[in-house]
Amino acid sequence: MQNKVLKSWKTRSLKNLPAFFNMVVIFREQEGVIFLLLLPFIGSFYGVRGHFVRRSTLSPGTTKFLSKIFRGRCSDYSDCTLPHTFQCDTDPSRPQINCTNSLREFIDAFAHKDPCQVPDDAYNEFLNKSMVHSEPNETLFWSGTRNIAINIATITDRYTTIERTAAGYVLNGLVWCGKNGAEDSSGINHAECPSCERGVPDATYQFWRSASRHFAAQARGYVSVLLNSTREGGAFQNKSTFATQELPNLDVNLVSHVFIHVVRDVTIPDDIPGEDCDGESILYLKRRLEERGLKYTCSSNDREFILVQCVQYPDSAPCQMLSTSSVAFKRSSILFILSFSTLLINTIF
């Protein structure tokens, strides 16, 4: 099996293509059949929630042109029904966002403040303006599975991760901090964002903690959580953002069911065992849900979460094994790929 990156969509003049994505066209040849894949590569980001840094904007201080990036992304999100799938027809029913006011509320939350002393509620005014909204039955939390979660949400459009909300879309990949007595009137530290003491959230991480709490509190119907079965320390970790910020803030009067999806990272060697639904950390998660009166269902290695990884890592051992052992897998792969390709073709051309 051989993949060839033919061209980047960045070279095309696409009026409504958000800069957040780098679209790549890939041809895959498998058993004499060529499949067209349109895959949103989000690999230009790295790190964990609250510490996403886009390599092109990496700097010791606040991301350069923070306000301009905010305005551009906010306008993009407001004007497009689904900017992450490039459908840019205005939807009257969508919550309207005043980007100018939102930017002011966002900056006021951290400017002129010690970056290691930003209060827990500093971003509340900004976040309360429909900035972390998701439709009923679509909320997807993740822990240790960021790329899988974002890609499956983009391809299927059945899930909403925090990165697909207004706040996540606008601020993902950016870094910011304030400074007491800053020389310029902005109160923003463009030179250096100092590290805080262990256990103390900086201005950026404090935002993601707060956004995660708001995201969980507004979830309705059934919700899903995607966990990494091969993660060191267990699939469910007590100090993760999901465990500390999201799970405790689920409203038991609004959430009817929790679907736990435990999935293996296909890039991890086969000789490293992974947890399933009877794993120690998953059993602990189940107990926490039971204590809150939340119903749950657990599943391991659902096909869609494996397929989305196989698109990017077709030569990994699990994907090779699946592709050679199951006709159904091949049919599912074709439908999975063509559905996403059709979606993009209809919206781009």
Q: What is the pLDDT of residues 125-162, one digit of tens each?
A: 999 987 888 999 999 999 999 999 999 998 888 999 99
Burial class (CB in 10 A: 0-12, 13-18, 19+), 18: middle
Averaged over 162-181, what is the pLDDT? 92
| Cβ–Cβ under 8 Å, residues 162 and 34 | no
**Distance of alpha carbon 146 from the chain centroid:** 6
Please name each of the domains of the chain with its CATH number. Answer: 2-348 (3.40.50.720)
Q: What is the pLDDT of residue 277?
A: 97
Q: Which letter does DSSP use for residue 87 in this model?
A: B
Give the tens place of pLDDT for each residue, 264-298: 999 988 888 899 999 999 999 999 999 999 999 99
The model scores a pTM over 0.95: no
Residue ranges of E strands in the chain: 2-8, 22-30, 33-41, 140-143, 221-228, 255-263, 296-300
